[in-house]
């Protein structure tokens, strides 16, 4: 039991060090349902600290009228072990069309990841880190650009999983972190989910969100 906790703590520490690995979805369920005009797969409460390996709400291209719950950390269909997903909670936009884990999902399995904020840690002197929460100035819901896949375990059970795409930081984020999650404009969400959208048009959506529409706040702790 202790070993499991140590392994989980090590994973979370690594997440804070390298990429975009925590976000929040604190709006009421009905507001999320109304925003995406979709039925919810199961009831859920506000999430103040969504983390990799958790089952979290997504809207996929295959079922855009339903909010489903997938495991955060993409497990490619060809993977031998589920543990590979622990390293794939993010996908870099710059290499998404070439990486074996992501190139097929990029073409066929795109999704929206609902959120209303995300967290980043700025490295300080002496190894310390300062957490920040980043939201829209409007405090509205928004969608991360995501990819998903289906993996079958040795028993034949299917596990649906997803990853969040990252890009270079905008002017608001530059001083905090060298990456940021791709946030889609609301009018681009249908384009992202549409399988008929040309690859180059889909790829063009993977860019930093407008910094003027965002705000950042220093916090004492996450969650």
The per-residue pLDDT for range 152-170, each reduced to its tens digit, is: 998 889 999 999 999 999 9
Exactly one of 120, 189, 212, 217 is catalytic; name it.
120
The answer to whether 20 is a known catalytic residue is: yes
Q: What is the pLDDT of residue 19?
A: 63
DSSP line for 151-182: EE-TTS-EEEEEEEEEE---TTTTTT-S-EE-
Share of the chain above pLDDT 70, in %: 91
- Each residue's pLDDT tens digit, 84-119: 999 999 999 999 999 999 999 999 999 999 999 999
What domains, with CATH codes, occur in the chain? 2-218 (3.90.1680.10)
Q: List the one residue out of 94, 91, 59 whose CA is nearest residue 207.
A: 94
Contacts of residue 222, defined as CB under 8 A and 6 or more positions apart, other chains included, come to: 22, 49, 119, 131, 133
The answer to whether 120 is a known catalytic residue is: yes
Can you tell me the mean pLDDT for 192-219?
97
Exactly one of 2, 20, 81, 213 is catalytic; name it.
20
Can you tell me the mean pLDDT for 35-48?
95
Can you tell me the mean pLDDT for 126-143?
95
CA distances from 27 to 116, 140, 182, 194 (A): 7, 9, 20, 26
Q: What is the pLDDT of residue 125?
A: 83
pTM for the model stands at: 0.91
């Amino acid at each position: 039991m202790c070993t499991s906790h140590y392994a989980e703590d090590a994973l979370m520490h690594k997440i804070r060090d390298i990429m975009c690995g925590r976000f929040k979805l604190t709006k009421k369920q009905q507001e999320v349902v109304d925003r995406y005009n979709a039925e919810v797969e199961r009831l859920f409460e506000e999430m103040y600290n969504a983390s990799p390996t958790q089952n979290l709400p997504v809207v996929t291209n295959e079922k855009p009228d339903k909010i489903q719950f997938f495991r955060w950390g993409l497990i490619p269909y060809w993977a031998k072990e589920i543990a590979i997903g622990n390293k794939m909670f993010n996908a870099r936009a710059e290499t998404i069309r070439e990486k074996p884990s992501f190139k097929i999902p990029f073409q066929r399995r795109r999704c929206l990841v609902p959120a209303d904020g995300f967290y980043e840690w700025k490295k300080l002197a002496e190894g310390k880190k300062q957490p920040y929460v980043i939201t829209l100035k409007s405090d509205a819901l928004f969608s991360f650009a995501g990819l998903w896949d289906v993996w079958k375990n040795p028993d034949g059970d299917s596990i649906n999983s997803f990853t969040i795409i990252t890009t270079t930081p905008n002017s608001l984020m530059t001083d905090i972190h060298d990456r940021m999650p791709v946030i889609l404009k609301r009018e681009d969400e249908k384009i992202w989910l549409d399988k008929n959208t040309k690859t180059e048009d889909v790829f063009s959506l993977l860019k930093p969100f407008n910094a003027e529409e965002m705000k950042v706040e220093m916090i004492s702790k996450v969650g």
